[in-house]
Amino acid sequence: MNLRRTLAVARRIVQQFRRDPRTIAMVIVVPIVMMALIGYLLRSVDPERTVAISADVPTDTAGIAEAINAGGRVEAVVLPREEALKQLRGGEIQAVLLMDPGPGGEDALTLVLEGTDPTSARVLDQAVRQAFAQKLLWAVTVGTNIGGEAGEGPQLQVSYLFGGPEYENADFFAPALIGFFAFFFIFLLTAVSFLRERTGGTLERLMAAPIRRGELVAGYILGFGLFALLQAAGVVLVAIYGLRIHYAGSIGWVFLVVFALSLLAVSLGIFLSAFARTELQAIQFIPIVLVPQALLSGIIWPVSSLPRALEVTARLLPLTHAIDALRAVMLKGHGFGDGDVLWPWLTVVAFAVAFVALAATTFRRESA
Amino acid sequence: MNAAVSAHGIHKRFGALDVLKGIDLEVAEGTTYGLLGPSGSGKSTLIRLLLGLSRADAGEVTVRGRPMPDRAILSEVGYMPQAPSLYMDLTARENVAFFAGVQGIRDSAAIDRVLDIVQLRGRADSPLHTFSGGMVNRTSLACALVHGPRLLFLDEPTVGLDPLLRASFWQHFRRLNREGVTIVLTSHLMDEAQNADRLGLIRFGTFLAEGTPAEIVAASGAANLGDAFLTLAEAQG
């Protein structure tokens, strides 16, 4: 082994890195920032799980709420029935405990769970049952018509606004992953192939032809969009028939959301390819563009459970809205007639249109 | 005489570097104009300016009577950049068909015709990464010709070609001229530049001389174009 030859190779690598400060920053700074972000997230993510108590019978609702709050795992508030159900549908609270006059003189106790997040549903169900099992709450409800024989807990009926007890974590993650994969791969493929178009001279050659910039971007969107839809079809098929996830919505809406996402991914890829000189630099967009969205867009932790500043950031990320729309379609069975699909979808499209415009500014005929 | 291309007082800077310092030229319809000069002299920059791919800091360019940049005129223009600028994973035919497509043309006869001109019909369905440099260059020329342009900008079209193929290219350029097609090309080869109707000898961003090859040789008092270039370059300093 000749040390001089080895050192020549090592020296050349250091020289190349010195000409590429961005890559040095990437290797050193980005892991520090990511470590800090993930650490902060793990410490401070606090899923807020709220159950509203609504009674149509005379009872000590405040006492019940207090007993549930004493358990420390979920938050209980007292709300009128209509308001509670409205907030449940809007996703502001995750469960409602209803107390109604029952048919046989006994009052009926029903826990309505929002149901899209199985973890959340399980925690709320357990918290409410535990509170009722405690003597304290039993004492509170003595004198009302709730619950069978003295000494036994009341009979708790559970119902679900969306889904049901069969929903598993896989059901909750599948819509998010469909969105993330569509965005991730299409973005990366577009960024690299448009970078090649720029560095290989073919973009300049195209600019010497009468093609409009919009026509070029639209062609990219159609071409890569086709693969995004094929990919989504594959992932959806595996999820439904392979993983047997529970699936409430229309497959057509899923593809419509995926197409909006690929519109976004292609235009963002074209736009950002202007800021890379080499494919190595294009790959650096993974930690810069994709990892923050993977952490903050609600794939793992619900956006509402993030610390305030990060929640605001998450709302500015297009993937957050795409995942909202996909979950509303697949878990709630909602469609484009529902605001929780339509608005997030329109938000993704708006982001995409903005990036199409930005992408088209990164190449023009008269530029040097 | 109608000028297919005219440029007046062209200046172009890149940062602190003056790349073009006052270029004037007129190219008559149906003729071949050669920009002759060493690499780095500003030939490619001038071609890009004439095409409207880049904007001059001073001066104006008109192509077929229209001030550049002008997207509409580009359907009458063919451009062969100096670097191959093709899709190496596609076949020759697919590349030519793509550049026909961005001109809005779907005509397989036109594609076959240009593949014949560059003598690649037999290898048309092989991917470009299996081609030699000269074959890639010929594909590039085919892509510039496929839409039947009235004006061709060819940046070093004969690089990497053997003498026989180079001669056949020049025959084709002559035939195009007879059909009324105007050609602006660059070269750093003195012997092939003799074939152009008019020449601009360019060095350090200015014309050392401009005129027909015979005029340039006569004015410099040299025996041939190569010597004329050397004499003029020495005079420039």
* CB contact at 8 A, A96 and A107: no
What per-residue confidence (pLDDT) applies to A110? 86
**C-alpha pair distances (Å), A175 with each of A158, A164, A172, A253, B15:** 25, 17, 7, 12, 50
Residue of B55, B74, B83 with shortest CB distance to A209: B74
With contacts defined as CB-CB under 8 Å, which chain A residues touch B77? 208
* CB contact at 8 A, A332 and A249: yes
What per-residue confidence (pLDDT) applies to A148? 47
Sign for the CA dihedral angle at A229, A234, A238, A240 comes to positive
Counting Cα atoms < 13 Å in the Cβ hemisphere of A211 gives 25
Between B36 and A134, the more confident residue is B36
Residue of B51, B83, B87 with shortest CB distance to A208: B51
Containing domain of residue A309, as a range?
Answer: 169-367
Confidence class for position A159, pLDDT limits 50, 70, 90: confident
Within 10 A of B143 (CB to CB), how many other CB atoms are there?
31
Residues facing residue A157 across a β-bridge: A110
What per-residue confidence (pLDDT) applies to A229? 86
Residues in chain B: 237
Same-domain pairing of A133 and A212? no
Same-domain pairing of A146 and A184? no
With contacts defined as CB-CB under 8 Å, which chain A residues touch B52? 365-366
Q: What is the pTM of this model?
A: 0.81
**Axis-axis angle for helices A21-44, A3-18 (nearest 10):** 70
Show which of A160, A185, A208 is a domain's final residue: A160
**Axis-axis angle for helices B133-145, B163-178 (nearest 10):** 10
What per-residue confidence (pLDDT) applies to A365? 63
Is residue A129 in some structural domain? Answer: yes
Same-domain pairing of A57 and A175? no
Tell me, letter by letter, the H, E, C secondary structure of B111-174. HHHHHHHCCCHHHCCCEHHHCCHHHHHHHHHHHHHCCCCCEEEEECCCCCCCHHHHHHHHHHHH
Same-domain pairing of A255 and A114? no
Is residue A95 in some structural domain? Answer: yes
What are the structure tokens assigned to B16, written together? 């602190």
Q: Does B15 touch chain A (CB under 8 A)?
A: no
Is residue A328 in some structural domain? Answer: yes
With contacts defined as CB-CB under 8 Å, which chain B residues touch A206? 102
Pairing of strands B198-203, B206-211: antiparallel
Per the prediction, chain A carries an average pLDDT of 84
CA distance B176 to B199: 18
Q: Does B184 touch chain A (CB under 8 A)?
A: no
- Work out how many CB contacts closer than 8 A connect A with B: 58
Is residue A21 in some structural domain? Answer: no
CB contact under 8 A, A204 and B85: yes
What angle (nearest 5°) sits at the alpha carbon of residue A140, between those of residues A138 and A142? Answer: 65
Which CATH number do you get for residue A149?
Answer: 3.40.190
Show which of A160, A193, A209 is a domain's final residue: A160
Mutate to test the interface with B, among A195, A212, A366 (most CBs of B within 10 A): A366
- A3-55 per-position pLDDT tens digit: 888 898 989 988 888 888 888 888 888 888 888 888 888 887 777 789 998 88
What per-residue confidence (pLDDT) applies to B31? 93
Report which residue type is found at A362: T
**For the residues A228-242, what does the mean pLDDT come to?**
85
Is residue A177 in some structural domain? Answer: yes
Same-domain pairing of A202 and A331? yes
CA distance B7 to A241: 67
Q: How many domains does chain A have?
A: 2
Three-state DSSP at B186 gives strand
Q: Å from B197 to nearest chain A CA? A: 25
Is residue A345 in some structural domain? Answer: yes
What per-residue confidence (pLDDT) applies to A321? 94
**For the residues A119-130, what does the mean pLDDT come to?**
87
Which of these, A242, A254, A268, lies nearest to A360 by C-alpha position?
A: A268
Chain A residue with CA closest to B81: the answer is: A205
**For the residues B32-53, what does the mean pLDDT come to?**
89
Whether the predicted pLDDT of A135 surpasses 60: no
With contacts defined as CB-CB under 8 Å, which chain A residues touch B84? 201
Same-domain pairing of A148 and A223? no
Q: Does B74 touch chain A (CB under 8 A)?
A: yes
- B142-197 per-position pLDDT tens digit: 999 999 999 999 998 888 788 888 888 899 999 999 999 999 999 888 888 888 99
Is residue A351 in some structural domain? Answer: yes
**For the residues A225-230, what does the mean pLDDT come to?**
86
Chain A residue with CA closest to B98: the answer is: A206
Show which of A160, A187, A204 is a domain's final residue: A160
Same-domain pairing of A156 and A192? no
Residue of A208, A211, A366 with shortest CB distance to B79: A208
Same-domain pairing of A316 and A290? yes
With contacts defined as CB-CB under 8 Å, which chain A residues touch B53? 204, 207-208, 365-366
Same-domain pairing of A174 and A156? no
Whether the predicted pLDDT of A106 surpasses 80: no
With contacts defined as CB-CB under 8 Å, which chain A residues touch B104? 210
What per-residue confidence (pLDDT) applies to B95? 95
Same-domain pairing of A112 and A241? no
Is residue A104 in some structural domain? Answer: yes
Residue of A201, A366, A368 with shortest CB distance to B85: A201
Q: Write out the DSSP string of B4-20.
A: EEEEEEEEEEETTEEEE
Q: Å from A45 to nearest chain B CA? A: 48
Same-domain pairing of A153 and A177? no
What per-residue confidence (pLDDT) applies to A367? 43
Same-domain pairing of A174 and A138? no
